[in-house]
C-alpha cells in the first residue's frame, strides 16, 4: 500500500477521552482510539502519540484552586501519564505492542525518554506513547507534540480535535465560518487562527513539519489521511 505518511505523531486531547462524560476516561472513546491506531499499525505506519491530561487536571484548575502555576503544571503532566497508562493498557488488550515513555522519571510504570530508543521502538512496530509533556512547566502538550515529532523525524503531526479542520472563525459559535482545505503557516499566524499554541506552532514552522487538523471522532479518518486523502485541514509552508 502506498502511504503518504510513514511515521506520524498523533496528538490527542485529554478532553476527547471524556467522551460524553464530564470527567475521566470513557471506555467507548478508548476503544475508538484503539481501533483507529490498530488500523494504522496494520498497514505499516509507525505511530507515536502525545495525549493531554485535561480530562483529569488542567493548569487553569490549579489557578482557581490557589495552587502555584509550576506545581499545577506538574500535576497536569502526571494526568497525561494516567491517560497514557490507560491507552497503553487498551492497546495491549487488542494485541498491539506499546511503550509508555515519560519525560519525568518514574521507572516503575514508564520508560525514561531516550530519543534513539524511542525511534527504535517505532522501527519495530511498537506504538510509542509520550507522556508528562516536555517534563518542564510552562509548556503545553501541543509543545510536547511538536518537540517529539521533530525529534523522532515524524512525517506529519495529526492533531485530532472535535471539529473537522481549521476554520476562518470558531465553527461552534459562528455559523458563517468556512473551513480551509489547506492553509499556510503564515496565514495561520497572520489571521490568528487557533491550530496550536504559538510555541508549538513556531517549532513546526521552523522545521517544515506539516500538521493535519481533523475530526478524531470519525472512524477511518486517520487511515484516510496516511493514505493521502484530503481529510481535515493541511497546514504547511
- Asked whether residue 2 is assigned to any structural domain, the reply reads no
Q: Residue 7 belongs to what H/E stretch?
A: strand 7-12
For residue range 74-115, list pLDDT tens digits in order: 999 999 999 999 999 999 999 999 999 999 999 999 999 999
- Asked whether residue 1 is assigned to any structural domain, the reply reads no
Residue 173 is predicted with a pLDDT of 87
- Asked whether residue 47 is assigned to any structural domain, the reply reads yes
Total structural domains in the chain? Answer: 1
d(CA 209, CA 169): 24
Asked whether 48 and 154 are in contact (CB, 8 A), the reply is: yes
Asked whether 166 and 173 are in contact (CB, 8 A), the reply is: no
CATH, residue 86: 3.40.1160.10
Residue 222 is predicted with a pLDDT of 97
Mean of pLDDT values over 28-39: 96
Indicate the pTM of the whole model: 0.94
Percent share of the chain, pLDDT over 90: 78
Owning domain of residue 147: 7-236
* Total count of residues recorded for the chain: 237
Mean of pLDDT values over 160-166: 91
- For the chain, what is the mean pLDDT? 93
Asked whether 146 and 204 are in contact (CB, 8 A), the reply is: yes
Query: If you compute the radius of gyration of the chain from its CA atoms, what whole number of angstroms results?
Result: 17
Assess whether pLDDT exceeds 70 at residue 155: yes
Please report where in the chains the cell 493498557 appears, as a residue: 89
Give the number of other CB atoms < 10 A from CB of residue 181: 11
Assess whether pLDDT exceeds 80 at residue 219: yes
- Asked whether residue 28 is assigned to any structural domain, the reply reads yes
Coil, strand or helix at 67: coil
Assess whether pLDDT exceeds 70 at residue 61: no
Asked whether 177 and 230 are in contact (CB, 8 A), the reply is: no
Under the banding of pLDDT at 50, 70 and 90, the label for residue 62 is low
Grid coordinates belonging to 77: 503532566
- Asked whether residue 219 is assigned to any structural domain, the reply reads yes
Coil, strand or helix at 135: coil
d(CA 32, CA 12): 12
Lowest mean pLDDT among 6-15, 153-162, 166-175, 176-185: 166-175
Q: What are the backbone angles phi and psi of residue 46, rounded to the nearest 5°?
A: -90, 125
Mean of pLDDT values over 45-62: 86
Q: At what angle do helices 141-151 and 198-206 cross, to 10 degrees?
A: 20
Coil, strand or helix at 94: coil
- Asked whether residue 155 is assigned to any structural domain, the reply reads yes
d(CA 51, CA 95): 20
User: Based on the number of CB atoms within 10 Å of its own CB, is 60 exposed (0-12), middle (13-18) or buried (19 or more)?
Assistant: exposed
- Asked whether residue 13 is assigned to any structural domain, the reply reads yes
Assess whether pLDDT exceeds 80 at residue 1: no
Query: Helices in the chain by DSSP H: which ranges?
Result: 27-42, 59-65, 69-93, 115-123, 141-151, 185-191, 198-206, 221-226
Amino acid at each position: 500500500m502506498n502511504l503518504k505518511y510513514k511515521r506520524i505523531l498523533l496528538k490527542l486531547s485529554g478532553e476527547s477521552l471524556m467522551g460524553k462524560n464530564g470527567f475521566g476516561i470513557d471506555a467507548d472513546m478508548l476503544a475508538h482510539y484503539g481501533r483507529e491506531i490498530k488500523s494504522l499499525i496494520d498497514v505499516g505506519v509507525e505511530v507515536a502519540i502525545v495525549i493531554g491530561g485535561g480530562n483529569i487536571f488542567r493548569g487553569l484548575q490549579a489557578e482557581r484552586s490557589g495552587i502555584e502555576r509550576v506545581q499545577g503544571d506538574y500535576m497536569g503532566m502526571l494526568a497525561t501519564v494516567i491517560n497514557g497508562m490507560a491507552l497503553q493498557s487498551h492497546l495491549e488488550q487488542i494485541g498491539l505492542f506499546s511503550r509508555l515513555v515519560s519525560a519525568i522519571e518514574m521507572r516503575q510504570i514508564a520508560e525514561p525518554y531516550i530519543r534513539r530508543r524511542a525511534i527504535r521502538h517505532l522501527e519495530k512496530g511498537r506504538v510509542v506513547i509520550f507522556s508528562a509533556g516536555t517534563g518542564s512547566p510552562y509548556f503545553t502538550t501541543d509543545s510536547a507534540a511538536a518537540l517529539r515529532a521533530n525529534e523522532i523525524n515524524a512525517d506529519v503531526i495529526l492533531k485530532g480535535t472535535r471539529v473537522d479542520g481549521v476554520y476562518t472563525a470558531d465553527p461552534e459559535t459562528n455559523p458563517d465560518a468556512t473551513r480551509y482545505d489547506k492553509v499556510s503557516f503564515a496565514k495561520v499566524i497572520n489571521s490568528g487562527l487557533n491550530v496550536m499554541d504559538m510555541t508549538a506552532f513556531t517549532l513546526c514552522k521552523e522545521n517544515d513539519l506539516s500538521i493535519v487538523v481533523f475530526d478524531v471522532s470519525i472512524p477511518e479518518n486517520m487511515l484516510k489521511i496516511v493514505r493521502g486523502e484530503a481529510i481535515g485541514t493541511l497546514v504547511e509552508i
